[in-house]
Structure 1
Amino acid sequence: MRSFWLAAKGVSRRQPIIYYRRLASSGTTKDKDASEGAKSTEPSLIVRMGESAATTFASILVLGVGFAAAGFIYHRTYKALVVRKMTRAFEPGDPVLELAAIGHDVPNAHRPDGSSDGVDDEDHWVRRPEQEHVDAIVAGRETGRYHLLLGDKGTGKSSMLIEAMHKVDGDGVSMLEAHADLEVVRLRLGKALDYEFHEDYIGGYFSERGPRDTTALLDIERALNKLDKVAIRLRRQRRRPLVLIVNQLHLLRDDDDGRDLIELLQQRAEQWAAANLVTVVFNSDDYWVYERLKPLATRMDVLAVGDLPRKQALDALRSYRRRYRGHDPSPDELEAVYGRVGGRLSFLGRVAKSGDMLATCDRIVDTERTWFLNQCWILGAEMDDDVMDQQKWASAAMVLAQALVDADSNDDDDDDDDDDDYETVGHRLPSFPLHEAQQIMTRSDFIRRLDSLGLFTITSQAKVRASSVPMQRALREICAQPGFRKHLEDTLQRINDIESLGRTRELVAKDLVLGGRYDIVGAKGAVASVKLMEAEEKD
């Protein structure tokens, strides 16, 4: 139609074709120009690489800053939380007091509902002479020193500490029980200080590290480092030191691990005592703990805790008897009980709760005698040589027991007129200085094990005696058995014979013909002859 119209206008058919071609050619040129212009505006490869690198760097920078900020906040929050939790561990109230209150060992005067258990605080506890000193230590009034409570089991050391904690409601005081396993000590220290031993490092942000990846000793050191910060903070507020009580320290093993832990605790105790930050109180039944602490001790005070004096023991027994049995014993009954068990609080409490006090006293003596015999009885002249090592230890204990009984008999003969001293002090058990006791036993390595077993006691003045009045009575009964001295001498002789056999060497002369002889020349020229003789003929 268009060609026909152009032909009608006098235009040849070829011209539109040329025209269209020109139009097409003109459009293609414009497209080329546009594409070339677009290509000229696109960034080059280097620019695109720079943009990608910048984007990657910015992403890494954002992630790095984010992780660093998160890690910083994590550490600041973690450390603040640790210090806050450990600070709460020294606030009023303590699990030790709650446990003691449940067991009716401590009157719980601080119940949330304000109720009372009906036990008078003043009547519940026996007032020991050392209680006032312990109260001052736990209340933080005794500064610049750390303390070791040393005495026999059952004398009331832990009770005095709990009583002192009860008076201040555990404010500023924390207490833990020692154990032979350092892992258990770590857990108990963490419980006492409210510390969980998680490692505070950046890896903890990505994956929580377990609290058991290091040794127990290092974890204890980390916990004590945190306690340093808490003590410094609370020192400014309280104006008195914190108190850390380590009870039953003798339960640690006397090996490398146990000695390392004692050294670690003592170093901290010395530092804290010098700075008046924390007062450390060690409580032990055995003398070997004192021997480990003594070489490095410059600020240590030793508080010896023994049996009650006679008057206080009688008053305590009367008070116990009234509370537990509703019975007021006569003075003769009190004297009879004291003569059998002395002033040991654990024995007095057991006797006061029983129906027949004297029978209970006899059972206590029987128990002590049985324990001693099971550990130290000697086997006499017929013993086997395989048990010689154990019998060396047992015979040494029996020799010391015999010496104590003999010394007790001599004291009874010499001190008949010393009744006034008995009225005020009470029993004075015979004792020997530690070096003399070792000389009597002819061994220096046995006495500490005997102390740990509760057969004998090494006091804070390095005196060796029976562990208690019932044990001394048991030793008397054992040594008074018919033929005991002869039995002990036979055992000692048998041990000497076995040792002599072990030191004897038998030489056999062989390949000697009749009349032959060996000459043995000694070191100093002495000659011994070994000659084969003809046997005598029998008639």
Structure 2
Amino acid sequence: MRKGVVSQSTAVRLCFRTGTLQPRRPNIRAYAQQFGPSTEPTNNIPGADPGDDEPRKKSRSKPETEPERESRFGTTAYKAFESAFTTFASIAVLGLAGYSYHIYYKSLVLRKIEKAFAPGDPMLELAAPPGPHVPPQDQSGDDDEQWVARPEQAKINAIISGESKGRYYLLVGEKGTGKSSMILEAMKEHNGEGVSMFEAHADPEIFRIRLGRALNYEFHEDYIGSLFSIRGPRDTTALLDIERAFNKLEKIALKNRNQRSKTGRKGPLVVIVNCAHLIRDDEDGNDLIELMQQRAEQWAAANLVTMIFNSDDYWVYERFKRYATRMEVIPILDLPKSLAIPALERYRAKYFPREEHKPEIFKQVYDLVGGRLNFLSRVAKSSDMLRMCHQIKEYEKTWFLNKCGILGEEMDDDVMDQQKFASAAMVLARALVQKDKELETNYDEDQGHILPQIPLYIARQIMTRADFIQSYDHENIFTIDSSANVRADSVPMMNAFKEICSEEGFDDYLEATLDRISAIESINRTKELTFKDLWIEQKGEQKGKYTFTTKDARGRETGSVEMRVVPDNLPDEND
């Protein structure tokens, strides 16, 4: 081997001698330059290939050719196309994922609303313990919840089951007559299938939430797309949200009508708005009632949804009456005597099974409280039924006096508005008591109490006010039935009217209050004019006058009034 030439095997041995753990392919050219002479220029940079200097120098001095330029342009265009395609693919995947989620969410919303009409209902679960429904005639012992069957129960059952369709219904009656109990009893028969019920509220926002809970609808507040928006979960009013909920409900109702033959339910879905009288009688409340009535009319015509409105006040009927074409009013009144006494006996036997029942006591109870289910249940649970009857009458009397007590002629003028409200109620109560005295009979052995009633327009004439009667109905002092007749809210309230009006000096006290109200109004209507500079002396005589000219609506003079000064030295007419 020549001097300065290193073989490959020698280079490998040198690598092992330098401590390299693994053999690597030696740079023959570097070893040749190190151990042998060479005329090539060396690179002083450690670790660099000496042969790299020459191509760099050549590349700096030699201009680029056309193939080289086309190669670099092609590489740049490819990279730009690759970036654009990657961006487009990312956007496409994101858009496809968002659209797929949107379609999935819409179908999820419909499935959730459909589950709201599945067997079982939150209102039904709150009203009764879970378990199979037992008909009223088969109930016994402590499980006897439906202790009386009202005559209207069969009709309510037909509406809830879907047999009665093509109309929507308004249940009107006083508080405690059993309207909600009848609806819940009808729901129990079918375990709430195809029915959704919720309580109304004065605030539209709370009404929206309760409607969404009843329909199992979140108003898109759980939509994940809102995470990419700076706005809140909802950017609209409560009324628009209610409209959206009804739109979703309409889709489910259409699907239910198309699949009605496959399911066990025969009729349309049922939506119940309980306590509709709690909606405020203002602009927002009227808009809400109009929205629900429009939907009820459309759905009743198409047999999609049957809506039921339950109200204690008459004004709801007045609002519905304006545009009602398919509405049916179901009045719910107190039980007649023939049904109230057996119901009281049955309920009394449940709580006091060992007590000896006396029919004359039950008759006395009915004479004192009438056939109101709320009162009968309270009396039946009391150990002394007659004493509880008198307490109920005292409660009603106290409530009436607290709301409508009059103050007489010594009242202050600051309480004018409240005393107008109270005196009008007293005048109407006195008119009902007088009407009761004029009736030939106010009690029937089968029907029971026959409360005196006055038509609504005449009641307004008696009070000389047309705006107070709605407040009286809302305060459960007077009631207005579906025939627009005004009467006492209950038998105990009518008994309270009789006691108050029969007190000694009541008529004089009421007249003094009315006179005081008239005097205060007269003072408020009286204007005082003060004249200045009317006393003028001219040539030793005191003179001065004012002349007023009166004109009609067309500006023509109709007369004049002249005011002169009367001197003090004139002789008196009595002299």
Kindly provide the amino acid, as one letter, of the partner of residue 233 in structure 1: K
Residue number in structure 2 paired with 1:532: 566
SS at match of 1:424: coil
What do the CA deviations read for 1:72-124 (whole angstroms, capped 9, x no partner)? 2101211111111111111111111211114xxxx84369xxxx996456x73
Given that 2:142 and 2:350 are in contact with CA atoms closer than 8 Å, whether structure 1 keeps it comes out as: no
Kindly provide the amino acid, as one letter, of the partner of residue 132 in structure 2: A
Kindly provide the amino acid, as one letter, of the partner of residue 407 in structure 2: L
Please state how far the C-alpha of 1:139 moved relative to its aligned partner.
Answer: 0.6
Please state how far the C-alpha of 1:47 moved relative to its aligned partner.
Answer: 2.9
Given that 2:133 and 2:189 are in contact with CA atoms closer than 8 Å, whether structure 1 keeps it comes out as: no
Kindly provide the amino acid, as one letter, of the partner of residue 531 in structure 1: V
> Which residue among 128, 136, 142 is the counterpart of 1:101?
128
Kindly provide the amino acid, as one letter, of the partner of residue 394 in structure 2: D
Which has the larger displacement, 347-356 or 187-196?
187-196
Kindly provide the amino acid, as one letter, of the partner of residue 405 in structure 2: W
Cα distance in 2 for partners of 1:143, 1:289 equals 22
> Which residue among 88, 96, 100 is the counterpart of 1:61?
88
Cα distance in 2 for partners of 1:231, 1:34 equals 84
Cα distance in 1 for partners of 2:373, 2:226 equals 51
Residue number in structure 2 paired with 1:382: 410
Residue number in structure 1 paired with 2:245: 223
What do the CA deviations read for 1:476-496 (whole angstroms, capped 9, x no partner)? 111111111111111111111
> Any gaps of 5 or more consecutive residues in structure 1?
3-19
> Which residue among 193, 196, 200 is the counterpart of 1:174?
196
Given that 2:197 and 2:272 are in contact with CA atoms closer than 8 Å, whether structure 1 keeps it comes out as: yes
Cα distance in 1 for partners of 2:107, 2:142 equals 41
Please state how far the C-alpha of 1:409 moved relative to its aligned partner.
Answer: 1.0
Which has the larger displacement, 197-206 or 86-95?
197-206
Residue number in structure 2 paired with 1:82: 109
Please state how far the C-alpha of 1:138 moved relative to its aligned partner.
Answer: 0.6
SS at match of 2:559: coil
Which has the larger displacement, 382-391 or 147-156?
382-391
Query: CA, structure 1 residues 32+473, in 2 after alignment: closer, same or farther (shift >3 Å)?
Result: closer
SS at match of 2:176: coil
Cα distance in 1 for partners of 2:329, 2:127 equals 26
Query: CA, structure 1 residues 202+53, in 2 after alignment: closer, same or farther (shift >3 Å)?
Result: farther
Matched, 1:402 2:424: no
> Which residue among 255, 271, 282 is the counterpart of 2:298?
271
What do the CA deviations read for 1:406-455 (whole angstroms, capped 9, x no partner)? 001111xx238xx6xx1222111111111101111101111001110011
Query: CA, structure 1 residues 346+201, in 2 after alignment: closer, same or farther (shift >3 Å)?
Result: closer
Matched, 1:504 2:522: no
Cα distance in 2 for partners of 1:200, 1:95 equals 21
Which has the larger displacement, 33-42 or 336-345?
33-42
Residue number in structure 2 paired with 1:126: 148
SS at match of 1:280: strand
Please state how far the C-alpha of 1:529 moved relative to its aligned partner.
Answer: 2.9
Please state how far the C-alpha of 1:162 moved relative to its aligned partner.
Answer: 0.4
Cα distance in 1 for partners of 2:257, 2:427 equals 54
Query: CA, structure 1 residues 125+535, in 2 after alignment: closer, same or farther (shift >3 Å)?
Result: farther
Matched, 1:415 2:441: yes
> Which residue among 126, 142, 146 is the counterpart of 2:168?
146
Residue number in structure 1 paired with 2:307: 280
SS at match of 2:196: strand
Query: CA, structure 1 residues 356+536, in 2 after alignment: closer, same or farther (shift >3 Å)?
Result: farther
Identity of aligned residues (%): 54
Given that 1:518 and 1:531 are in contact with CA atoms closer than 8 Å, whether structure 2 keeps it comes out as: yes
Query: CA, structure 1 residues 62+369, in 2 after alignment: closer, same or farther (shift >3 Å)?
Result: same
Given that 1:180 and 1:251 are in contact with CA atoms closer than 8 Å, whether structure 2 keeps it comes out as: yes
Given that 1:512 and 1:532 are in contact with CA atoms closer than 8 Å, whether structure 2 keeps it comes out as: no
Given that 1:98 and 1:108 are in contact with CA atoms closer than 8 Å, whether structure 2 keeps it comes out as: no
Equivalent positions of 1:328-347 (< 5 A) are 328-347=356-375
Residue number in structure 1 paired with 2:460: 438
SS at match of 2:335: coil
Residue number in structure 2 paired with 1:12: none
> Any gaps of 5 or more consecutive residues in structure 2?
3-37, 41-50, 261-265, 537-541, 551-557
Given that 1:318 and 1:328 are in contact with CA atoms closer than 8 Å, whether structure 2 keeps it comes out as: no
Residue number in structure 2 paired with 1:513: 535
Kindly provide the amino acid, as one letter, of the partner of residue 461 in structure 2: Q
Cα distance in 1 for partners of 2:520, 2:377 equals 47
Matched, 1:71 2:98: yes
Please state how far the C-alpha of 1:527 moved relative to its aligned partner.
Answer: 3.1
Equivalent positions of 1:129-278 (< 5 A) are 129-198=151-220, 203-204=225-226, 206=228, 210-238=232-260, 239-278=266-305
Please state how far the C-alpha of 1:63 moved relative to its aligned partner.
Answer: 1.2
Residue number in structure 2 paired with 1:462: 484
Kindly provide the amino acid, as one letter, of the partner of residue 402 in structure 1: R
What do the CA deviations read for 1:148-191 (whole angstroms, capped 9, x no partner)? 00010000000000000011110100100001111111111111
Cα distance in 2 for partners of 1:211, 1:297 equals 36
Cα distance in 1 for partners of 2:197, 2:522 equals 53
Cα distance in 2 for partners of 1:117, 1:494 equals 61
Equivalent positions of 1:294-305 (< 5 A) are 294-305=321-332
Cα distance in 2 for partners of 1:535, 1:156 equals 83
SS at match of 2:532: coil
Residue number in structure 2 paired with 1:371: 399
Given that 2:197 and 2:274 are in contact with CA atoms closer than 8 Å, whether structure 1 keeps it comes out as: yes
Cα distance in 1 for partners of 2:308, 2:107 equals 28
Please state how far the C-alpha of 1:367 moved relative to its aligned partner.
Answer: 0.5
Kindly provide the amino acid, as one letter, of the partner of residue 534 in structure 1: D
Cα distance in 1 for partners of 2:237, 2:215 equals 18
* Structure having the higher Rg: 2
Kindly provide the amino acid, as one letter, of the partner of residue 230 in structure 1: I
Cα distance in 2 for partners of 1:456, 1:160 equals 24
Kindly provide the amino acid, as one letter, of the partner of residue 382 in structure 1: E
Given that 2:169 and 2:328 are in contact with CA atoms closer than 8 Å, whether structure 1 keeps it comes out as: yes
Cα distance in 2 for partners of 1:480, 1:517 equals 60
What stretches of structure 1 move > 6 A for 4+ residues in a row?
30-39, 535-538
Aligned residues: 505
Cα distance in 1 for partners of 2:133, 2:335 equals 29
What do the CA deviations read for 1:192-247 (whole angstroms, capped 9, x no partner)? 11111125888447469754432211111111111111111122223420000000
Cα distance in 2 for partners of 1:488, 1:37 equals 120
Please state how far the C-alpha of 1:44 moved relative to its aligned partner.
Answer: 4.6
Q: Could you say which structure has the higher helix fraction?
A: 1
Cα distance in 1 for partners of 2:131, 2:451 equals 38
Cα distance in 2 for partners of 1:405, 1:222 equals 51
Query: CA, structure 1 residues 520+32, in 2 after alignment: closer, same or farther (shift >3 Å)?
Result: closer
Cα distance in 1 for partners of 2:569, 2:279 equals 67
Residue number in structure 2 paired with 1:14: none
SS at match of 2:508: helix
Cα distance in 2 for partners of 1:277, 1:175 equals 16
Which has the larger displacement, 508-517 or 358-367?
508-517
Cα distance in 2 for partners of 1:48, 1:320 equals 95
Query: CA, structure 1 residues 536+341, in 2 after alignment: closer, same or farther (shift >3 Å)?
Result: farther
Given that 2:146 and 2:185 are in contact with CA atoms closer than 8 Å, whether structure 1 keeps it comes out as: no
